[in-house]
Amino acid sequence: MVGWEEVKTLSNQFDTMAAPLRHHRFTLDEYEEMLARGILTSDDRVELLAGEIIEKMTIGSRHGACVDKLNRFFSLALGDRAIVRVQGPVALPPDSCPEPDLAILRPCEDFYAGAHPRPDDVLLAIEVSESSLDFDRKVKLPIYAAAGIREARIVEIADATIECHSDPRNGVYAKTRLFRRGETFTAGALPDVRLSVDAAV
């Protein structure tokens, strides 16, 4: 009988001999076709990020509560001036379709029933981070910046801070500010809407 140590040794030897695996990168069109055909459904809890189909992380109770508070705040503050989309898709050609925790969108008569919102439709993208801070910073922010989304926020639950990123240039946000408890801020596209860190986390 082969023991576990032998299995691990054989596996390591195979890894060093095997040719590198090739990954197929999906375009936004291919991803949307898979959704249209039912190959992927909302039950799969995935999103397309830089050509890769990624399983979304489980949402904890504090994360969910923070999203709900932000949803209520922006919905009341903006009324009919914008659409507050909660964990819904945003199409970012050529190869991303993320689902930000909140996306503040330009008004649209059919609420984007005809097609997902595109970068120019997004006034502000917000990610709530409880255990996904590195992922949000290193994966999602560059995708938003590369697509030209004008502003993005990361709400850090553990530290009770909000990172504000703006002015996308060459795939990165040129301006970053950190806000802590007791401070308030606005978004460039929503200058009359002031959000306090205390109200969000």
What one-character DSSP code corresponds to residue 32?
Answer: H
Q: Domain for residue 28, yes or no?
A: no
pLDDT for the residue 18: 55
pTM, to two decimals: 0.86
CATH number at residue 175: 3.90.1570.10
Residue 4 has pLDDT above 60, yes or no: no
Q: Are strands 151-156 and 122-129 parallel, antiparallel or unpaired?
A: parallel
Q: Domain for residue 151, yes or no?
A: yes
Q: Dihedral of CA 157/158/163/169: which sign?
A: negative
pLDDT for the residue 118: 97
Q: Domain for residue 129, yes or no?
A: yes
Closest to 136 (Cα-Cα) out of 167, 163, 166, 117: 163
Tell me the residue range of the domain where 66 lies. Answer: 58-200
pLDDT for the residue 24: 84
Average pLDDT of the residues of the chain: 90
Number of domains in the chain: 1
Q: Domain for residue 69, yes or no?
A: yes
For 21: left if phi > 0, alpha if psi spans -120 to 50, otherwise beta; the answer is: beta
Q: Domain for residue 179, yes or no?
A: yes
Closest to 82 (Cα-Cα) out of 126, 121, 128: 121
Taking only the tens place, the pLDDT of each residue in 32-90 is 999 999 999 888 999 999 999 999 988 999 999 999 999 999 999 999 999 999 999 99
Q: Residues 171-179: contacts with CB within 8 Å, 24+ apart?
A: 171/142, 171/145, 171/146, 172/142, 172/145, 173/141, 173/145
Q: Domain for residue 182, yes or no?
A: yes
What's the whole-number mean pLDDT along residues 166-191?
94
Q: Domain for residue 62, yes or no?
A: yes
Q: Domain for residue 25, yes or no?
A: no
Confidence of residue 22 (pLDDT cuts 50, 70, 90): confident
Closest to 104 (Cα-Cα) out of 128, 129, 92, 121: 121
